[in-house]
Structure 1
Amino acid sequence: MNRYPLWKYLLILFVILLGMVYALPNLYVPDPAVQVSGQSSATVIDQQLLDQMEQALKDEGIEYFGAESNGENALIRLKERDQQLPAKRVIQRALGSDYVVALNLAPTTPEWLAALGAQPMKLGLDLSGGVHFLLEVNIDEAVGKRMESAVREIRGAMREEKLRYHTVKLEGGTIVSKFRTEEERDEANRILRRDFRDLTTQLTTDGGLFTIRSNMSESAIREVEDYALNQNLVTLRNRVNELGVSEPIVQRQGRNRVMVELPGVQDTAEAKRIIGKTANLEFRLEAEEQNVVTAEKFEFLNDKSRFPDAWLERTVVITGDHVSNASASFDENGFPQVNITLDSDGGARMHRVSRKNIDRRLGVLFIEYKTRTTYTTNEKGEQVATSERYVEKKIISLATIRSALGKTFRITGLDNPRESSELALLLRAGGLAAPMYFVEERTIGPSLGAENIALGVKSVTIGMAMVLLFMLVYYRVFGIFANVALAFNLVIMVAAMSMLSATLTLPGIAGIVLTVGMAVDANVLIFSRIREELANGLPPQSAINAGYDRAFVSILDANLTTLIVAVILYAVGSGPVQGFAVTLSIGILTSMFTAILGTRALVNLVYGGRTINKVWI
């Protein structure tokens, strides 16, 4: 009676040792650091660039104690956290706008622990901070795209009605349609009022020509704004999910801004590059040699690295919005490529255009909206930063159409596998309906202050101390068993959260405090049952055995109902509520293990297989 087989003792010991190993990284405080990576995933961070950054920090008197680079990004460790922002400004000024400079926390976990996959638990914005981005959506660009599309549709409608027009073009945000006769203008106005109800028209006469000036109505502009912002919100959420960030916050702020908060994020430079990119593609045909190339119908793109002096039609075959799936792979020669699947509309357009343009070259244009920061010195000798927005267009493929294309095809000509993976990620997440620019970026400290954080840790300490004291005084030797199990319960709980990459928040700390109390509830039920069995005259060994066996059903029911509530809280709650639900759920599972198996193993080791007349309980 009251004996465990050897395998059960070994299982409990293994779980405890595993918990100690994976909880250990949380004792190593990360170093404040600045991380640098390229705007493009193909950018190489070499030793020369690392030396340039170190020299810039030395010139400004900023102390650091470590600089490392793996070719894709560089990490410079600083001695004080308040040196991060000055170091970031110095490095950004030294390197220019072709590099992403972001604040980071460099892990100090020993290599042998990291090799086992042991990483410290992520802390939420309210504990150790994270990254806060505020992005502004360029609504004017979204409205401009809609107006450009309307120009093409108006021309098509005029041709279908066999109505002759002089010119139809976009001038300063207004669609200007000119006709030679008043009758043609009136007929065109009738068509616009019938088929383009989002436009308001104004009839004028200009240079002997009869003119219609069309502008988008206020309600239509508001509809475009809402669509662009909502589409960008969905895209950003998809991109954040691709990054694997726990409990992110992506929400609208005001009329044209989006706030993104990434708690516990480790690679802020990667997050900024992925979130900030406008990953949209445009598929355009190259100009034919016999065409008269004009800036109105064609666009000259001078991409010196791959396809110099290319003229592409301004008319877009399809955009990245029609991409339903994208995956990175390698072609038959081992070069990186992206396999693309279009939706039904995009596939039909691609098939129709490619079927009519066999042996012509189709260009794949990658468009990014970037911000360039320049520094000037004012009259007081202070460095003033000025941001300038610009558009960068790059041809990533220019291949000859050999046969009609369908819904699936591939993009080749990429520099490396990382670039193909990043492009596939951005395309899977969806294209942005309008470009976005960073207007604010900061690393957030504890939102509730260091005092509240200290109080949170203090509450766990005091709560656990009081529970340990009560169990020790009230249950004596069995109280020692419960206290040992409780200590291991916290260790295993922290290890489980670290292994699951769960984010610990202040509500999560409240869940830990609650778990401390719930963990001993099971032992209280068991020990009370043992006391009852002893009072009923059972021998000590039989009373111990009966106490554990008969209390198990009650413990299981109580914990199961609490676990169901925790799961519901996680499913329907927001970030803080989810943080509480996560720690509560993990705590319930670990306390079941330590309070039942753990204490039973200690009791069996002390009392099992012995003849005893009295137990201290």
Structure 2
Amino acid sequence: MLNFPTWRRLVVIGLVVLGLGYALPNLFYPRVELHNDAVAAIEASGSTAEREADRSAWPDWLPSSLVNLGLDLRGGAHLLAEVRVEDVYAARMDALWPDVRDALRDERDTVGAIRRQNAPEGELRVSIENADGMARALEVVRELAQPVATLTGVGSKNIEVAGQDRTIIVTLSEAERTATDDRTIQQSLEIIRRRVDEVGTREPTIQRQGERRILIQVPGLGSAEELKALIGTTAQLTFNPVISRTSDGNVSPGPRNVVYPSLDEDGIFYVLEQTPVVTGEDLVDAQPTFDQNGRPAVSFRFDPAGARKFGDYTAENVGSPFAIVLDGEVISAPRINEHIPGGSGIITGNFTVEESTNLAVLLRAGALPAEMTFLEERTIGPQLGQDSIDAGKIASIVAFIGVLLFMGLVYGWFGLLANVALILNVGMIFGLLSAIGATLTLPGIAGIVLTIGMAVDANVLVFERIREELRAGRGPARAIDLGYEKALSAIIDANLTTFITAVILFIMGSGPVKGFAVTLALGIITSVFAAIYVTRLMIVIWFERRRPKTLVV
């Protein structure tokens, strides 16, 4: 008798129904998408009549996960950016200067007066007065070195210190530069992801390419310019001491000072100390708000370390102006009227409500550690995406019809059962893609088309084995059992090697290659399941009902 126990039948039927249930929302894509957006909006900011109406577009008790459409299917924005890690080297040297200065001041009797000199980007140069104190000065500065905090940099220090005449030259070590590059790219990836997520876009692709490049693809976004406006700014917020205020933008600021224009006052410039007291990295929160006059503003709050530095400075400089600088422009320069111990404040300026909201988003997500240069930018319109979908549909339908005709003509009734399993197989692929929240791209459609062609391979192996057993004189029931039993190893071997290939493509590839690998891998899983279990279950049910004396396969 055919070996297919009841519990296995129930499991197979249950898995098929579950897969088709998860695939069902994709047949009603606009309605389910409207429902999902309404649910997310209600969770984020409360219920309204309009949101409740949108939510009712799809029943809550049904699955609502969708296959996300990639950039080439939905349209959207594409950017390829290169991160200027050299900016971080310069910032690191600038941040090291106060520590070097304080350490050498303790040795003033030996080294004499100290002065910071102009240096190439990524270097810190400090001159000392007494040449005889050079050895001691180098020793003191080298004591500031810290171990490199990476596995590849074990045993290395983060800075290298050299002497030339009466000048101390400090640079980042090679191991620290490598660690800094990796840390900068990873930090940039995370900050870009936060900024993109803040505006509620669906399934963006944000990934590293090469050593210093980042690929950003956001489906559904209007243009590349809109995406650049969201992530293209470094949003570096600093709080700098004010030296003077002038209308001459070409004034010489003096050593270690900078000249920045005022954002609110046309023709006004501020001369500031280059080294800030606190930066946006010390921020833990920023929210849009309104000032005492009802104008849009942004409130901020520092972490404990930033609050301490901010409080100490305001206590020591009551009555002095203090510049709030964003990306090289002075937003405002209020006077410090009293000690501010709480580590919080408000940024005012000529903001609109939208500008204050966007600024809060950028500050809350964090400052990009370095400037980005956009090497490639593209805007893919929804019409082009629809053309891709239509072409993919045509390819899938042609492949589907071709396979159905072949199986029906060659294997008769068994081929028709295999065709039913193939239809269920495609539904289960979309069910899996929906369940895991995968993104479908044009190469992903190619993976589905390939899966349709490969899906019947296992059935062909089984049916040919059944034919061999029938020719050997086996009875119908025994021939079916032996056909599945003897074909199993070949099915597993053939599909396992293809599955391994798909895994390698997913690990080593990027972007479209990953999309192809995902659909191919999932298609292999569902195809093997459909051939070994679904088709067999249908054959068993048919055989038990009809009890044929002979088989024609």
Q: TM-score, normalised by structure 1?
A: 0.55
Residue 77 of structure 2 corresponds to 131
Select 1:611's aligned residue among 537, 543, 547: 547
Tell me which moved more, 607-616 or 471-480: 607-616
What amino acid sits opposite 1:235 in the alignment? Q
* Equivalent residue letter for 1:567: V
Q: Is the contact between residue 68 and residue 203 of structure 2 (CA under 8 Å) also seen in structure 1? A: no
Give the aligned partner of residue 523 of structure 2. Answer: 587
**Equivalents in 2 of 1:223, 1:531: separation in Å?**
66
1:575 aligns with 2:511: yes
Equivalent in the alignment of 1:562: 498
The CA deviation at 1:11 is 1.4
Distance in 1, Cα, partners of 2:323 & 2:413: 74
Q: How does 1:452-467 map to 2 (within 5 A)?
A: 456-467=392-403
How many residues align structurally?
A: 464
Separation in 2, partners of 1:611, 1:517 = 32
> In structure 1, what is the equivalent of residue 412 of structure 2?
476
Match of 1:248 in 2: 206
- State the secondary structure of the residue aligned to 1:528: helix
* Rounded Cα–Cα distance in structure 2 between residues aligned with 1:392 and 1:138: 25
Instruction: Give unmatched runs, 5+ long, in structure 2.
Output: 35-43, 142-158, 245-255, 265-271, 287-298, 348-356
Partner of 2:368: 432
**Deviation (angstroms), 1:520:** 0.7
| Structure 1 residues 242-391: aligned runs within 5 Å | 243=197, 245=203, 247-251=205-209, 260-262=215-217, 264=219, 275-276=231-232, 278=234, 368-369=326-327, 390=329
Which of these residues, 419, 437, 440, is aligned with residue 501 of structure 1? 437
Match of 1:160 in 2: 106
Question: Counting helix residues as a fraction of each chain, which structure ranks higher?
Answer: 2
Question: Residues 540 and 614 of structure 1 are in contact (CA less than 8 Å); yes or no, is this contact kept in structure 2?
Answer: yes
Cα pair 2:19 2:431 within 8 Å, conserved: no
Of 406, 420, 425, 1:489 maps to 425
**Does residue 11 of structure 1 match 2:35?**
no
Seen in structure 2, the aligned counterparts of structure 1 residues 610 and 262 have a Cα distance that, compared at 3 Å, is: same
Instruction: Give the structure 1 partner of residue 185 of structure 2.
Output: 233
Match of 1:236, as an amino acid? S
8 Å contact kept, 1:338–1:412: yes
Alpha carbons 2:191, 2:368 under 8 Å: kept = no
Deviation by residue 1:262-313 (Cα, 9 ceiling, x = unmatched):
154679999767744646676x89x9xxxxx9669999xx9x9xxxxxxx99
Cα deviation digits, residues 123-168 of structure 1 (max 9, x gap): 3344444322355767896576467446645644652342665976
Compute the displacement of 1:439 (Å).
Answer: 9.3
What letter corresponds to residue 473 of structure 1 in structure 2? L
**1-side partners of 2:540 and 2:98: how far apart?**
83
Per-residue Cα deviation, 1:238-267 (whole angstroms, up to 9, x for no partner):
2355648465344479xxx95532154679
Q: Given that residues 508 and 583 in structure 1 are in contact (C-alpha distance below 8 angstroms), is that contact kept between their aligned partners in structure 2? A: yes
Q: For the structure 1 residues 560 and 278, does the alpha-carbon distance in structure 2 shift closer, same or farther, using more than 3 Å as the test?
A: same
Q: Percent identical across equivalent pairs?
A: 32
CA distance in structure 1 between the aligned counterparts of 2:56 and 2:379, rounded to whole angstroms: 25
**Structure 1 match to 2:248:** none
Task: Please state whether the residue corresponding to 2:58 is helix, strand or coil.
Answer: helix
Cα distance change of structure 1 residues 391 and 170 upon mapping to structure 2, 3 Å threshold: farther
* Counterpart Cα distance in 2 of 1:174 and 1:585: 47
Q: Residue 121 of structure 1 aligns with which residue?
A: 67
Please report how far the alpha carbon of residue 482 of structure 1 lies from its aligned counterpart in structure 2 after TM superposition: 0.7
Distance (whole Å) between structure 2 residues aligned to residue 471 and residue 10 of structure 1:
23
Q: CA deviation at 1:547?
A: 2.5
- Decide whether the 8 Å contact of 1:168 with 1:177 is kept in 2: yes
SS of 2:425 mapped into structure 1? helix
* Structure 1 residues 487 and 611: CA distance shift in structure 2, 3 A: closer
Structure 1 residues 399-436: Cα deviation after superposition (integer angstroms, max 9, x where no partner): 9769xxxxxxx98999xxx99x9789835xxx533345
1:546 to 482, 502, 526: 482
Match of 1:132, SS state, is: strand
**Which consecutive unaligned segments of at least 5 residues does structure 1 have?**
32-41, 48-67, 71-107, 204-211, 288-292, 305-311, 329-336, 342-346, 370-388, 403-409
Instruction: Classify 1:266/1:479 alpha carbon distance in 2 versus 1 (closer, same or farther; 3 Å).
Output: farther
Q: Distance in 2 between matches of 1:391 and 1:137?
A: 25
How far apart are residue 580 of structure 1 and its match? 2.0
After the TM superposition, which of the residue ranges 563-572 and 540-549 deviates more from structure 2?
A: 540-549
The structure where strand makes up a greater share of residues is 1
TM-score (norm 2): 0.60
Instruction: Quickly say closer, same or farther: Cα 1:137–1:525, change in 2 above 3 A.
Output: closer
The C-alpha deviation readout for 1:437-489, integer Å capped at 9, x for no partner, is: 87986523599998877655443333222211110001001111111111121
Tell me the CA shift for residue 524 of structure 1. 1.0
| 1:567–1:259 distance in 2 versus 1, CA, 3 Å | closer
Q: Distance in 1 between matches of 2:258 and 2:210?
A: 37
RMSD: 6.3
Counterpart Cα distance in 2 of 1:266 and 1:118:
22
User: Among 428, 445, 450, which residue is 1:514 paired with?
Assistant: 450
